[in-house]
Amino acid sequence: MATNKEHRKLLKRDLKLVRDSLKNFRVEMQVQIRGVQEKLVEIMNFLVGMKASMEQSSFHTSKKGSMFKESKYNSQMGKIDFPRFSCDDSIKCLNKWLNHTISTHNRYY
């Protein structure tokens, strides 16, 4: 059996190990939290930029009184349907599309 002095030494050694591992854990957690904070700042900056660009595109440039009129058409969400032509040559496809567009709408774009 160990004496009280030996038990105390073992407890002090174990306590030091626990303190060291707790210190290492805290340091690792702080590094991970900083990484998460940096990513969140990047995401927030990206979202703020997207919001600003969407707000710019959603207003007409013409004024009515002192207020801007909000557009009902979002240019980023617009869908353009092109007729599909299957050809091997891209120039032929472009010419077919142009001819189709001109004949359908009777005008040049």
3-state SS, residue 68: strand
User: pLDDT digits over 41-68, tens only?
Assistant: 888 888 888 877 777 765 544 445 444 4
Q: Which residues does the chain have with pLDDT short of 70?
A: 1, 57-90, 105-109
Please give the model's pTM, rounded to 2 decimal places. 0.41
Distances (CA, A) of 82 to 96, 98, 107: 11, 11, 16
